[in-house]
Structures are given as structure tokens and as C-alpha cells.
């Protein structure tokens, strides 16, 4: 009876430790400007880093909480370090956040790592997919690979209100969800030229890294249209790019592909 009780206590005690079955460790930090988590495997010799950007209403813990299947697909000896950065539950890249990211956050975080970084990759989901796409068009040589999952991309300007009903007809997107997203764009950028400074379609160049983009064929935001168009634009500029349309709604994932690509 005592042995059973001890095992029961140990089971729940160990379950509270933020460590995956593969031995992966997740350490999280917060300051007045941003929050971040560093996910590592102590057995790994890899000097590669994946920067992860979460979706709307998510936070810096989304990678560790939602993508354990990817972590389990990695070899513990070659698994990259994943750095998940958040400026809040809802945010889009603009001047202040871009400058803070590259001038403060990334140097600070990488200084905490046990090994120097030799390869950087980037991944973003939904809202974070827009942010990641915007980052690789603003600073195309910083990352060697980019993965955009269900990215919040539309091939027209959100300031073009006459295009919205046509978009909804084409994609069968949910009207309320689209208005919510486009309102966020309007609040963040206020005028067209500020949006265009961070528009992935406007700023993509041939220097951007290799990319993999995926989206569900029933995405409630209709983002599959913009996701495929972004890949087509990338290919037209000579960038190695792949688009995978998955079966399902907003943010379905091919975990095996994610694990393979982010190596």
C-alpha cells in the first residue's frame, strides 16, 4: 500500500515539472517589454535556433504547449533550440517591436545560450505567421529557413475595403473573423504607407530564405488564398518555396513536416 502511495505521489510530482518525455527543458522569462521561453534539449549538440511567433491570443508558451509532437520527432542529439518571443497576446510587427526584437531581445536571449548560434530559422502561426513573413522581408538574410503555418496573409491591402466582400465570396471566410483581423491591422498601422512598410507581399525580395508554407483548405479566415499567393510570389523571385494545403480549418499542422524542415 505504501509503495502504491509513493508511486502515486511521484507520478503527480513529476507531472508538474515542465519537462517533456524526451528530456526537453523549457525556461521562461519576462520583462516590461516582452516575454520569451527557451526550449532546449540538454543532450543536443546543435547550434541551430528556431524563433517562434505565436498566434492571436497566444503567448510565449504556445510552442511548448502545442508542438510537443514536433519535439518528439526530433533526435535529442540534434534538436535545435526553440526561442518563443511574445510582445503580448495580440500584436503585429511595427517599428518599435522590430527595433526591440533585433536590437535588444535577440542579442539578450542568445547571450543566455550555452553555445554560439550558427543557424537561425523562423516559424510563425496565424498572426505570428504574418509577423514571421514580415520579418523575413524586412531582414531577409538573418534567417536561413522560414516556416509559415496558417499565416495571416491576404494578397490585397486590408485598407482596400471594397475588396473585403469579394474576398469573403472567394474564400467563404467568416465575416466577423475577417473584420476583427482587418481592424487590428487598421489600429496597428493607421495609414496605408505604414502597413506597406511591413507588408510581406510588398517587400519580399529574392534574398528571402527558403520557406515552407501551409494552410487548411477550410481556414475560417480564408488565409489559404494569401498563403499560396505568397509562395507563388516567392517562387517567381527564385526563392525555394513549398506550399502544402492541409485538410481542415484554421491552423492544422503537419507535425512531421515541421520537424523535418526545421533542422
Would you state the pLDDT for residue 20? 58
User: Which residue in 73, 263, 255 sits closest to 149, CA to CA?
Assistant: 255
Pairing of the two strands 119-125 and 81-86: unpaired
pLDDT tens, the chain, 263 aa long: 444 444 444 434 443 344 454 578 999 999 999 999 999 999 999 999 999 999 999 999 999 999 999 999 999 999 999 999 999 999 999 999 999 999 999 999 999 999 999 999 999 999 999 999 999 999 999 999 999 999 999 999 989 989 999 999 999 999 999 999 999 999 999 999 999 999 999 999 999 999 999 999 999 999 999 999 999 999 999 999 999 999 999 999 999 999 999 98
Other Cβ atoms less than 10 A from the Cβ of 109: the count is 20
d(CA 66, CA 147): 16
Instruction: Identify whether the C-beta of residue 173 lies closer than 8 Å to the C-beta of residue 216.
Output: no
CATH of the domain spanning 22-261: 3.40.50.1820
Query: What residues contact residue 45 under an 8 Å CB cut-off, 6+ apart?
Result: 77, 78
Query: For residues 240 and 237, what is the distance between their CA atoms, to the nearest angstrom?
Result: 9
Domain ranges within the chain, ordered by starting residue: 22-261
CA pseudo-torsion sign 179, 183, 189, 193: positive
pLDDT number for residue 5: 45
**pLDDT of 45:** 93
Q: What was the pLDDT predicted at 124?
A: 98
Residues 85, 206: Cα–Cα separation, whole Å:
26
Amino acid at each position: 500500500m505504501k509503495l502504491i502511495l509513493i508511486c502515486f505521489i511521484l507520478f503527480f510530482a513529476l507531472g508538474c515539472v515542465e519537462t517533456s518525455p524526451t528530456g526537453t527543458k523549457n525556461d521562461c522569462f519576462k520583462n516590461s517589454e516582452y516575454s520569451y521561453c527557451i526550449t532546449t534539449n540538454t543532450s543536443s549538440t546543435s547550434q541551430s535556433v528556431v524563433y517562434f511567433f505565436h498566434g492571436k491570443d497566444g503567448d510565449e508558451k504556445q510552442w511548448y504547449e502545442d508542438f510537443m509532437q514536433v519535439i518528439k520527432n526530433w533526435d535529442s542529439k540534434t534538436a535545435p533550440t526553440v526561442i518563443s518571443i511574445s510582445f503580448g497576446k495580440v500584436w503585429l510587427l511595427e517599428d518599435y517591436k522590430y527595433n526591440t526584437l533585433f536590437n535588444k531581445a535577440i542579442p539578450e536571449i542568445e547571450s543566455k545560450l550555452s553555445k554560439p548560434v550558427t543557424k537561425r530559422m523562423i516559424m510563425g502561426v496565424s498572426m505570428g505567421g504574418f509577423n514571421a513573413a514580415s520579418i523575413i522581408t524586412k531582414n531577409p538574410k538573418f534567417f536561413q529557413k522560414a516556416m509559415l503555418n496558417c499565416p495571416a496573409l491576404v494578397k490585397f491591402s486590408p485598407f482596400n475595403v471594397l475588396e473585403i466582400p469579394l474576398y469573403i465570396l472567394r474564400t467563404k471566410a467568416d465575416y466577423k473573423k475577417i473584420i476583427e483581423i482587418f481592424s487590428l491591422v487598421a489600429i496597428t498601422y493607421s495609414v496605408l504607407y505604414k502597413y506597406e512598410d511591413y507588408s510581406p507581399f510588398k517587400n519580399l525580395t529574392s534574398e528571402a530564405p527558403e520557406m515552407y508554407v501551409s494552410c487548411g483548405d477550410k481556414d475560417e479566415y480564408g488565409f489559404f488564398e494569401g498563403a499560396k499567393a505568397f509562395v507563388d510570389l516567392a517562387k517567381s523571385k527564385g526563392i525555394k518555396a513549398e506550399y502544402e494545403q492541409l485538410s481542415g480549418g484554421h491552423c492544422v499542422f503537419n507535425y512531421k513536416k515541421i520537424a523535418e524542415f526545421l533542422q
